[in-house]
Structures are given as C-alpha cells and as structure tokens.
Amino acid sequence: MLMMMQFDAVNLSYCLARLAVEVLAVEVLPMKVEFYLVEQLCYLHCNEYLDMDNWMGMKVAFATELILEEIGKLNSNKGLNLNSPTDYLVARHNFEGCVNIRIPSKEEWEDNSVINEHETSVYTDASITKTGAGIGIYSEALNIQKSYRLKNGCHAIQAEICAIREAARLIWVSGKPLRDVTIYSDSQAALRSIASKTVRSKVVMSCQEALSWLRGDGVGLRWVPGHKNVVGNIGADRLAKLGAGGNGAEVMDSPLPPISSLKDAIEEIILEKHREIWQNRNDCGIARNLWPKIDNNRTRQLLKHKKNLVRIAAGVVTGNCAVGVNLQKWKITDDSSCRECNEEEETIEHLMCWCPALENRRLQTMGQEFLDGLEDAAEMGIDNIMSFARNWKCFNARW
C-alpha cells in the first residue's frame, strides 16, 4: 500500500514536471509552475523524497533541474539562493501527542479564573522590531528573567515558538521539582503550531522535543492575552523588547527562514518572467492594450463577478466576442457595420472609444464621452469596462 502511494506521488510529480518543461519550452510560464517548483524544492532540500535509483525519480529530478536552471538564468544576480536551507521539514507525525495546551477565553481572563495560585507560571514573549528580533522568558517563581537576541531576525511566530522552547529548556535546567508548571504565551498561532500532530517546521519540532522532556512533570501551555496587564506577560514583553534592541542580550541562532520566504522570492521571479513575456509579444494587440501588465489586483477584481460578466469582460479584453468584424470573419454575417450607430465597422476599438451611439453610456460608466484609444481604458477599473460593455448588442446577439 505504502509503495503504491509513493509510486502515485512520484508519478504525479513526473507528469507535473513534464507539463512544466513543455510549458517552459513554449515560453509561456503559468503561475501554476511556481507551486510545483516550490514543492520540488522542498523535496530536494530534504533529500528524503527522491530516490535517484528510480528512473522515474531521475526524470523528475532532471525536469526540476531544468526549471531551476531557467529560474537561475533569470535571476543569477538577485541574490536568491535556491539551495539555502529553510525551516521546512517533510511532514513528521507526532503520535505521542504534545503537552497539554489550553486557550482560555478572554472572559475567563477577565474573571481572573485562569491562573491557579498553586501553579508555577513561566511567561514567554517575542518582539520583532526594525532593529532585530528578541525573545523574553519571565518567571517570578523560578527566578528567571532572560532576554535573547535572535541572530539575523526571523518571523514573529518562529520567535514566539523559540521563546517557548527556551522556557522549556530553562525549566529543565532549573532542576527544581516540577509540579503544575504552566508556560504562558500570547501567540495563539504559536500554541496551535506546537499542538499540531503533523509538523512541517524544524523550529516547531525542536520545541515539541524540548517540551516532551517535561511532559511527565505536569507541564502545560496556556494562552495569555497580550497587553492586558497580566504581570508576567508584561515582564516577558519587556525582556523580549530588550532582546530585540540588542544591548548586551545573549545572542541565539535564529530559526532558518520559513519556506514562504523562498516561495515569495520565486513568485517574484516568475511574475517578472511572466511580465517580460507578456510585454514582448507581437500578437494579442487588443488584450495587451487593455491589460498591459500582469496585475493580480485587477484579476481578483474581475474574478469576483458572476460568470456571465466575466465572459463579457474576457470577450472585450481579448477581442474574442461577437463584434461585427468577427461575425464577418466567421462567415456568420456579411455586414460588419456597427449595430449601435451603423456608421463604421464594428470593432472593439470603435465600441470602446468612439462609437457615437455609446457616448452617454461611456460618460456614465467610464467618466468620458470619447477615448483616444484602447490605451486610455487600460487605466480604468475592470468594473467600469464591464458595466460599459454589458449592454452591447454583440453580447446579447442571437443569430
């Protein structure tokens, strides 16, 4: 069964790789490739997935090399190092379970019913500032007040997890008999990551390991609301800020950058490549005039509409709709003259820019009676173009 699953995964990767190479060969790079590329990078980084003796694995690796080479060529001078290690970990399953984690509601905190007076509390916090990242661990009962500076900075959630891991270590080395020890953190995201049974982050895994040393001693994790005057939380926050500021705080190696930083960099490169291809094309004149650059916001704006409106917008923007010149080309009618004004040939440009019959509608929807050319509409929101075009006869034509 396991072998079959592995075979399917490799087979699927192989198909995707082939697709990516085919697509690269014809020089159109859809965004989908990026996801595949990142997936492959994860596998390559961990050296755990691909079996190089397997001929199919060889082909996947080969295809991946081609993609990397392509990306590398594009970006050799941008400081992206695809071989740099990341915090990503091929999924590990924590079947033993983690320490007890509780996220009390804000109301429980307001009622003062969370902190048990017999427990030993250890508070943790992280601070990310322009000058750097720091963590703080504070416990009155165990006499701990520690600040650390994280080398080269890191993401906030990683820092919060580091703080909890360090708290676990300090509790362990304190050597005191432990009963009812609670580690507090104000990051629910960090606590949820640590509670997860499937781990894909090295820093989460190391934190789970540190906590597992204490599991037998009745240690639990608990959420505390930040900036709500809980004394221990204020103490940990102050220590974390001290660490972020530098000033003599002990320096600790940061977690490796999250895989998302590599994804962002790859996304940027692919977007750049996509833009370059789009801008250097000789065809798709109407589309390149009305949609001159790759613009994700505009795409989102378009796709939030109902299918019928998206169809209309796509028809206008690509020129592939039933305007007179197309109907004549497709041999559906003999007459290509404008059905709105009957004065000129019915083209997208004529309808968009200067058909006199649409003067008022243009003013209402695009704020201008006439446009000089399609480039003028490129700056307009896709909503304006859609509401201008939705009543054109070519979109209601029944022939």
Nearer to Zn ion, 123 or 354 (CB): 354
Nearer to Zn ion, 286 or 341 (CB): 341
Which 180-239 positions form the footprint of Zn ion (CB under 5 A)?
Answer: none
What whole-number distance in Å separates Cα of residue 398 and Cα of residue 327?
12
Nearer to Zn ion, 87 or 340 (CB): 340
Q: Does 34 bind Zn ion (CB under 5 A)?
A: no
Q: Does 340 bind Zn ion (CB under 5 A)?
A: yes
**Cβ 336 vs Cβ 346: under 8 Å:** yes
3-state SS track over 366-389: HCCCCCCCHHHHHCCCHHHHHHHH
Minimum CB–partner distance for residue 395 and Zn ion (Å): 15
The residue from 115, 341, 378, 380 that contacts Zn ion (CB under 5 A) is: 341
Nearer to Zn ion, 338 or 353 (CB): 338
Span from 144-152, 256-264, 349-357, 360-368 in contact with Zn ion (CB under 5 A): 349-357
Nearer to Zn ion, 8 or 369 (CB): 369
Q: Does 355 bind Zn ion (CB under 5 A)?
A: yes
Q: Report the chain's C-alpha Rg in angstroms.
A: 30
The residue from 338, 348, 366, 386 that contacts Zn ion (CB under 5 A) is: 338
Q: Which residues contact 53 (CB under 8 A, 6 or more apart)?
A: none
Phi, psi of 180 (to 5 degrees): 55, 55
Nearer to Zn ion, 215 or 393 (CB): 393
Minimum CB–partner distance for residue 394 and Zn ion (Å): 11
* Residue whose C-alpha is closest to residue 119's, from 9, 48, 219: 219
**Cβ 238 vs Cβ 226: under 8 Å:** no
Q: Total number of residues binding Zn ion (CB under 5 A)?
A: 4
Minimum CB–partner distance for residue 342 and Zn ion (Å): 7
Q: Does 160 bind Zn ion (CB under 5 A)?
A: no
What whole-number distance in Å separates Cα of residue 70 and Cα of residue 52?
22
For residue 146 the two structure tokens come to: 């520690």
* Residue whose C-alpha is closest to residue 170's, from 145, 190, 188: 145
What whole-number distance in Å separates Cα of residue 198 and Cα of residue 89?
10
Q: Does 114 bind Zn ion (CB under 5 A)?
A: no
Span from 23-31, 293-301, 305-313, 340-348 in contact with Zn ion (CB under 5 A): 340-348
Minimum CB–partner distance for residue 393 and Zn ion (Å): 10
Angle between helices 259-279 and 55-75 (to 10 degrees): 70
Nearer to Zn ion, 19 or 341 (CB): 341
Residues lying near Zn ion in the complex (CB under 5 A) are found at 338, 340-341, 355
